[in-house]
Structure 1
């Protein structure tokens, strides 16, 4: 994605990313705290529940925040167990 695309994703507050490593691939749902709260509230009102697969919450949905967080959780084994 270019800078414009990243700016749009940061404004939206969420993004699905596919993380690939030697052992496979996994889609991770990335949210900022404000958008996550909005999504939880909306889904509970609509469905009576909220579910998320592999959820990652970062201060803002920027490339730097996502790459940094994924690097840390990969080192902790989250991706392998996610």
Structure 2
């Protein structure tokens, strides 16, 4: 069964390949990142993965993504923002 994955920072050198792997496995993948074009977004766009511009207010992400059903991956690199 396909799942939906949302990556914040999807054009990053770590996130981009993970997004591609999940997409290639048949999952729905979307994400957001900075507006500036980067070479890492070309493979994502070629695969048809939707990339939106990071909202200035991350509260806006919740308007397009249902966090109540989300399974989050914790990282201690963003201590102040993890719950």
Is the shorter-chain TM-score for this pair beyond 0.5, marking a shared fold? no
TM-score by length of 2: 0.31
Q: Which has the higher contact order (CA 8 A, sep 6+)?
A: 1
The structure with the largest helix share of the pair is 1
Bigger radius of gyration among the two? 1
TM-score by length of 1: 0.31
